[in-house]
Amino acid sequence: MTAATVFAAVFIALFVAHSVGDHWVQSSCQAATKGLPGWAGRLACWRHVLGLTITKGLLLAPVVVLLDLPVSALGLVLGFAIDSISHYWADRRTTLKKLADRVGKAEFYSLGTPAHPAHPVTAEGTYAPTLGTGAYALDQSWHMFWLGAAALIIAAI
């Protein structure tokens, strides 16, 4: 089995698990508080990342076993470490916003929020909340980048 095949299988499993963990496993409390300053936000974010990492492990395990993927313990540890650390970093929110500001994506980051000049409105002209925000798109693309890196590490080491 080639490393490319292992990479593809691992990435697909992590991608599916990421979506489940980020949207179904994460509690409403974690989602609402993980970006807050101080220990309340840090702990909520760590609890979210722990649940997400467990979900990824649980979904990746049968893929590795049933497909007899040649992965090493070191590759798994390093892959999961880079994925969880990068996920925590972005989900603290201020960090990702600062990066977006620094690379010229501030307007896109605010897309879909009241801070954006073309924010969505109701028929009455008031703000219409939406999940389709620039912040969410940048958050998810950040996570996909690091899922790819994690899958590459798991497949190559």
Write out pLDDT tens, residues 22-72.
Answer: 999 999 999 999 999 999 999 999 999 999 999 999 999 999 999 999 999
Type of residue numbered 43: L
With 90 as the cut, is the pLDDT of residue 142 above it?
A: yes
With 90 as the cut, is the pLDDT of residue 83 above it?
A: yes
Q: Sorting pLDDT into bands at 50, 70 and 90, what band is 12?
A: very high
Q: What's the pTM value of the predicted model, to 2 decimals? A: 0.89
Q: How far is CA 28 from CA 25, 63, 87, in A?
A: 9, 29, 17
Write out pLDDT tens, residues 110-127.
Answer: 888 777 777 777 788 887
How far is it, in rounded angstroms, from Cα 112 to Cα 100?
15
For CA atoms 42, 146, 96, 126, the dihedral sign is: negative
